[in-house]
Chain A
Amino acid sequence: MKTGAKILIEALQREGVDTIFGYPGGVVLPIYDELYDSSIRHILVRHEQAAAHAADGFARASGRVGVCLATSGPGACNLVTGIATAYMDSIPIVAVTGQVPTSLLGNDAFQESDITGITLPITKYNYLVKAASDLRRVVHEAFYIAGTGRPGPVLIDLPKDVSTDQVQDTTSISETVSLRGYQPTYHGHIRQIDRALDLIAGAERPLIYAGGGVIHSNASAELVAFAERIMVPVTTTLMGLGAIPGDHPLNLGMLGMHGTQYANYAVTECDLLLAIGVRFDDRVTGKVATFAPNAKIVHIDIDPAEIGKNKKVDVPIVGDVKAVLHVMNDRLKKTGRWEPWLGRIRAWKEKYPLRYQDDGRLRPQHIIRELSALLKGEGIIVSEVGQNQMWTALHYTFKKPRSWITSGGLGTMGYGFPAAIGVHFARPSEPVIDIAGDGSFQMNIQELGTVAQYRIPVKAMILNNMYLGMVRQWQELFYDRRYSYTELPPVDFVKIANAYGIDGIRVDSRDDVASALKAALDTDGPFVLDFRIEREENVFPMVPAGAALNEMIGVRQP
């Protein structure tokens, strides 16, 4: 006979889980008691939201399923932002929550919340387990659902009596999960693939638009091989950065609202758009009617519901990006000739490079370029959300997939620092840097406690402008500089770090950037860098909301 809690821990071990992020509470006491002498390492965060983000960071950095654990009611509710973040970016996590005993379900019991109801629209699937004998199957299914097809978060809600019940653990479960309502398509339709190849052969101005799906399916090598064989330039989404090395001659960087000028021009002018593992998000397309207006569109994605959702597609290919690109590389016979097109793109790149004012003042773009030069593509960059995120996306040169961890779809401020904790446990030997703003960092600043407790060598690099910078930028540009509630009073982040026993340096001058970054990277433990940057620096290029991609502001106009 075994308790439900023991069955849960054993089932997690069977899925290969070695680390979970969590926070204890009343109804998860039986689970915590099992964890006490189990081989699974539990990282105690300071707020459940951080547990969900850490599990998410762990998943993004490793490609495995991340796991978080929280108690019922407030604990479960605090996971919600983290689960929604993972859902929007298709990140595989399994969230285990405690629940009040089944006898009290629906009674508004102490610390009861209907977490399966609450997370219904932000999980790929969720379970309320009513019997301990179901647990092994449920855990196995949850990991399968989270990690296969289009990945996503799965929640398992576990009433306290299910954790304490003693049952005969004789239920044998098969290794392979078979769910009649869930059968992802991995292999693209050959006829559609050939139609796509025909379009490539006939194109004059083709362009690859690659996204997070390339990262999730570990298809970077296939993507680069494909691009090089057909000699087609590649622009990536925020989620796709690192899918092709940033310094690759075919790389055009990011497209969209804060895309590079040449990427946005290329999208507007191309006659064939090869959309790979992307979802035509509004931050990418701008005004959708004028997005790639002259192009035939091929769309490769594992989720059929994404195809044709926002933009009409000429050739849909449902399948795993890696598998589809592999077949495309195999079947590719001839490719078109587009030397004039490549020439035009080269000319755009020369005429409209990414710019910023490098005038000796402390500007964030310089700090990020300096970090990029120091790390040379090694290590993992995590970001918060806002200007810090966009400056990093534009000015850091990512060279590998899974070296860029950021909240794209949901745009969750406060994501980066706790996610960085998860990233460290996924890849402990690599440097992990969280590039933050002072606003974002203060959203989960309590995780300094976690980082201090476990001596997690995460470096927090705060681009401190004493504003909610991106919102201030919009107020400057579109609301007549009326800075309504976006100014933040100065905070001495080094002192806060010191209070947790963490070292830090405040940097006020451009001259000190390199030495400060080196000092942080050379420190074994955690470190906080407080960069007092130019307060009203903006992110450019910028496509105003609802405008066409070629209508950028803050750039040299053609």
Chain B
Amino acid sequence: MKAHTLSVLVENRAGVLSRVAGMFSRRGFNIESLAVGTCEEPNMSRITIVVLGDDAQIEQVMKQLNKLIDVIKVSDLTYRESVERELAMIKVTAEPGTSRAEVMQIADIFRAQIIDVGSKSVVLQVAGDTKKIDALENLLRQYGIKELVRTGKIAILRGAKTVKSSK
């Protein structure tokens, strides 16, 4: 079992997300994360899905995705040169005094930004690969994470190549 990152280009139409998500749950495939948004083409959206499975399972996932009429192209970025990022916002308990200073120091090391400050908490924004965000989350846990939001991973090929242009 390995986590694969799939970049899926779809028609920007009502119901597309439920078609994709429904196929995963119906066939028992495990979605680790899913991120969806508009892309460079006006009538298309791009869904980035991280899915767990062995090679045969991932092949089935890709074939089943391709079978959906609203899916235009499916690419597995796992074994290709790509950059992957995720964004998280973390609300951490940080009373004025030592803990707040420590939290801010940790934020600094992770190049996270403080985007909101309250009397008893701060909100950090961090972007990076999944491991980096996991590490930051672990470090901050001792101060008390009140709320955590992650976008799910997005990915893009390195260099001039695009998912659309390559086979």
Contact = CB atoms under 8 A, between A and B. Distances in A.
Nearest to B10: A181
A395 interface: no
Interface stretch (A119-127, A332-340, A432-440): A119-127
B144 interface: no
Contacts of B19: 120
A558 to B, nearest CB: 35
Contact of B71 (A117, A128, A145, A181): A181
Given A304-B63, A308-B59, A309-B60, A124 B69 contact: yes
B161 interface: no
A312 B60 CA distance: 12
B68 A181 contact: yes
B68 A120 contact: no
Given A304-B66, A305-B63, A120 B18 contact: yes
Nearest to A145: B69
Given A180-B72, A304-B66, 7 more contacts: A120-B15, A120-B19, A124-B69, A181-B10, A181-B71, A181-B72, A303-B67
B69 A121 contact: no
Interface string A300-331: 00011100110010000000000000000000
A48 B21 CA distance: 30
Nearest to A179: B69
B131 interface: no
A180 B18 CA distance: 19
B19 to A, nearest CB: 6
Interface of A: 116-117, 120-121, 124-125, 128, 145, 179-182, 303-305, 308-309, 312
Given A304-B63, A308-B59, A121 B70 contact: no
Interface residues of B, number: 21
A361 B18 CA distance: 56
Contacts of B69: 124-125, 145, 179, 181-182
Nearest to B71: A181
B118 interface: no
Contacts of A304: 63, 66-67
A408 to B, nearest CB: 20
19 contacts: A116-B15, A120-B22, A121-B23, A128-B14, A145-B69, A179-B69, A180-B11, A180-B72, A181-B68, A181-B70, A181-B72, A182-B69, A304-B63, A304-B67, A305-B63, A308-B56, A308-B59, A308-B60, A309-B60
A120 B69 CA distance: 12
Contacts of A117: 18
Contacts of B23: 121
Interface string B5-25: 000001100110011001100
Q: Interface centre among A128, A304, A312, by most B CB within 10 Å?
A: A304
Contacts of A179: 69
Nearest to B61: A305
Contacts of A182: 69
A116 B22 CA distance: 13
B26 interface: yes
B64 interface: yes
Interface of A is mostly: mixed
A182 B72 CA distance: 8
Interface of B is mostly: helix
A305 B64 contact: yes
Q: Interface centre among A145, A303, A305, A309, by most B CB within 10 Å?
A: A305
Interface string B119-163: 000000000000000000000000000000000000000000000
B23 to A, nearest CB: 8
A304 B56 CA distance: 13
Nearest to A312: B56
Instruction: Give the 10 A-B CB pairs with smallest separation, nearest first.
Output: A305-B63, A182-B69, A181-B72, A125-B69, A305-B67, A181-B69, A180-B72, A181-B71, A304-B63, A121-B26
A290 to B, nearest CB: 19
Contacts of A308: 56, 59-60
B60 A181 contact: no
Q: Interface centre among B60, B63, B64, by most A CB within 10 Å?
A: B63
A124 B69 CA distance: 8
Contacts of B14: 128
A366 B143 CA distance: 81
B56 to A, nearest CB: 7
Nearest to A116: B15
Contacts of B60: 305, 308-309
Nearest to B44: A180
A150 B34 CA distance: 29
Contacts of A309: 60
Contact of B22 (A121, A145, A180): A121
A522 B18 CA distance: 53
Contacts of A124: 69
Nearest to A121: B26
B110 to A, nearest CB: 40
A305 B56 CA distance: 11
A181 B11 contact: yes
B18 to A, nearest CB: 7
Contacts of A125: 69
A138 to B, nearest CB: 12
A179 B64 CA distance: 17
Contacts of B72: 180-181
A181 B45 CA distance: 13
A271 to B, nearest CB: 24
B37 to A, nearest CB: 18
B66 A305 contact: yes
Contacts of B56: 308, 312
Nearest to B59: A308
A117 B19 CA distance: 9
A541 B44 CA distance: 53
Nearest to A181: B72
A125 B19 CA distance: 10
B65 to A, nearest CB: 9
Contacts of A128: 14-15
A312 B70 CA distance: 28
B22 to A, nearest CB: 6
